[in-house]
Amino acid sequence: MSTTYNTIERRVSTLLNNLSGSTASDAETTYTTVPLTISQYDNAYFPPSVVQDAIVDTEARIVEEICLNGNHPHRTLFADTTADLTSNADLPTTGASGAKIIGPLGDVYDSTNLTPLTKNSLKMITLIRDSENGMFQNSYYFYCISDRKIYHTRSRPGVKIAVCTFARSTFASASNLKTPDEYNDLLVYGTIATLAGKVTSYEQAGMYYAKMWDAEVQKIRNFGRSIDPTKNAAPSEY
Amino acid sequence: MPLTKKELALRAIIALDGMYPGQGWLLREAEAELAIDLGLHDFSEAMARDERRALLQQDYSVTLSSGIGNPITATGSLTSAADVLFESIRWGAVVDADGNMLTHVEHYNDFRRFQQPGYKYFTLHNQRIYVRSAASGDYTTDLGDVNGPLTVTANFIATATTVPAELTDEATRYVMNALLRLPGVIVGESVPAT
């Protein structure tokens, strides 16, 4: 969040031997140049735009991994809500900001008074909404998601759903990353794994960083999930 | 502060959730609302037979036409609703416009027969109150001998908002019992009276 895209670009480019400078002094000068341009690049495999595209794509993949894990606290960093949804509305694919929804849907709550709704059966919601001869007079906060629609017992404007959304960044050297700083290494690993794996002479580097990427991504995927000791038993020979 | 329908429903399911945890009682809010009518009807009937019946009694003004009055459409002096518990009229009081307390006769066929002179009588029949005197001994003559409107003191069918504060717990217990009788819940169990 407080690291710039340029920092990731120069780390990636250094590890891929992209940057010019045959002495430590020259390399340092190149490394600290902001923004890096084609003048500092010296590797035809990975020109600046290729690296920069890979960085923003990798950032999007990290955000996706965070948002896909409903237990992950960093989902809050990408929090958004849907627009107001009346009962029988199609589930939206974008949040109120217009960005694409990623990961599981969060709480459903009344658009007006922000009271959270509770899941109930579609049949019960239908009965309450029909309220034959006014048999239901109380107000209810129930919802049900069925197929691609949401049904609920609230009147207009309806409900909102808490969601995570993300729109792919535009690379800007001086701008801050959208991911927290602790993901900087992961962003470097993922970017290199994406780039290096496609060039034969970098194949080993690609495999190495792909492993690093996988290991770090597993941490995100497993966050908040308890370990069942019966499913992780030691091998029988021990 | 009187109960609300929602409050009574919530009181019932929260109490049941405490008694029978883990059975999703807190999600049965809508079922509880429907059980209120069932439970409060049972409650009202029980109270009419109870020594505390006066807590649910009120006066109804019933007009007479040829010795017959309709209490079912009469509105109560406290609730302003047509909510009389018909069978409870026998345990209340029926007074004519001249201040005479009418005597209850259990069966209509007895009511039509000769009655002791000097008194006025009523019976419940055909969803109506039938009244008469015993001046002449002839029913068709005596039925016109009672002046309306009648003031009928009877029990009303309670709603959430008309349950007296003193009986809130009792009413809640009846709603809980009505919920317990719904299909899919604990059949045969009932909430004990305190």
A contacts of B34 (beta carbons < 8 Å): 135-136
The pTM (predicted TM-score) of the whole model is 0.77
Q: Do residues A26 and A137 lie in contact, with contact meaning Cβ atoms separated by under 8 Å?
A: no
The average confidence (pLDDT) of chain A is: 91
Residues of A in contact with B30 (CB under 8 A): 120, 124, 127-128, 136, 138, 140, 142
CB contact under 8 A, B5 and A138: yes
Predicted confidence at residue A1, as pLDDT, reads 72
Q: What is the pLDDT of residues A163-222, one digit of tens each?
A: 999 999 899 988 999 999 999 999 999 999 999 977 888 888 889 999 999 999 998 998
Tell me whether residues A127 and B27 touch, CB distance under 8 A: no
Q: What is the pLDDT of residue A93?
A: 95
Give the A-side interface with B, CB within 8 Å.
118, 120, 124, 127-128, 135-140, 142
pLDDT of residue A227: 60
Residues of chain B with confidence (pLDDT) below 50: 187-188
Say what the alpha-carbon torsion angle A173, A175, A180, A182 is, to the nearest 10 degrees: 30
HSE-up of residue A216 (Cα within 13 Å, Cβ side):
18
Q: How do the residues of chain A divide into helix, strand and coil, expressed in percent and rounded to 5?
A: 45, 15, 40
pLDDT average, residue stretch A20-46: 92
As a whole number, mean pLDDT of residues A13-19 equals 92
Task: Tell me which DSSP letter residue A176 carries.
Answer: B
Give A142→chain B minimum CA distance, Å.
9
Query: What proportions of chain B, in percent to the nearest 5, are helix, strand and coil?
Result: 40, 20, 40
| Adjacent-strand bridge partners of B104 | B122
Cβ contact (<8 Å) for A137 and B33?
A: yes
Distance CA B69, CA B50 (A): 26
Model confidence at A230, in pLDDT bands (50, 70, 90)?
low
pLDDT recorded at residue A197: 79
Beta bridge partners of A238: none
Q: Which of B6, B27, B34 sits opposite A118 (nearest CB)?
A: B27
- Percent of chain A clearing pLDDT 90 (strictly above): 77
| Average pLDDT over every residue of A222-233 | 66
Q: Give A90→chain B minimum CA distance, Å.
A: 25
Chain-centre distance of CA A204, in angstroms? 28
Tell me the nearest-neighbour CA distance from A136 into chain B, angstroms.
7
Interface probe for A, chosen from B33, B40, B182 (most Cβ of A below 10 Å), is B33
In B18-173, DSSP assigns E strands to: 57-62, 64-65, 68-69, 93-95, 103-104, 120-125, 128-133, 150-155
pLDDT at position B187 is 46
Q: Is B113 exposed, middle or buried (0-12, 13-18, 19+ CB in 10 A)?
A: exposed
**B147 is written with which tokens?**
């002046």
Q: B111: helix, coil or strand?
A: helix
A195 or A234, which is more confident: A195
Parallel, antiparallel or unpaired: strands A118-119 and A142-146: parallel
Which whole number is the average pLDDT over A91-100?
Answer: 94
Beta-strand relationship, B68-69 and B64-65: antiparallel
pLDDT of A117: 96
Residue B48 to residue B151: CA distance in whole angstroms: 18
Q: Length of chain A, please?
A: 238
For B35-69, b/e burial (b = at least 16 CB within 10 A) is bbbbbbebbbbebbeeeebebbbbbbbbebeebbb
Q: Do B29 and A138 touch (CB under 8 A)?
A: yes
pLDDT band at A105 (very low <50, low <70, confident <90, very high): very high
Chain B residue with minimal CA distance to A134?
B34
Residues 6+ away with beta carbon under 8 Å from A38: A47, A48
Q: The dihedral of CA A37, A41, A44, A50: what is its sign?
A: negative
Best interface-test mutation with A: which of B10, B26, B27 has the largest number of A CBs within 10 A?
A: B27
| Rg of chain A, C-alpha, whole Å | 24
Q: How far is B159 from chain A (nearest CA, A)?
A: 13
The answer to whether the CB of B124 falls within 8 A of the CB of B17 is no
pLDDT of residue A143: 96
- CB nearest to B33's CB, from A118, A120, A136: A136
**Nearest-CA neighbor of A168 among A61, A76, A48, A84?**
A61
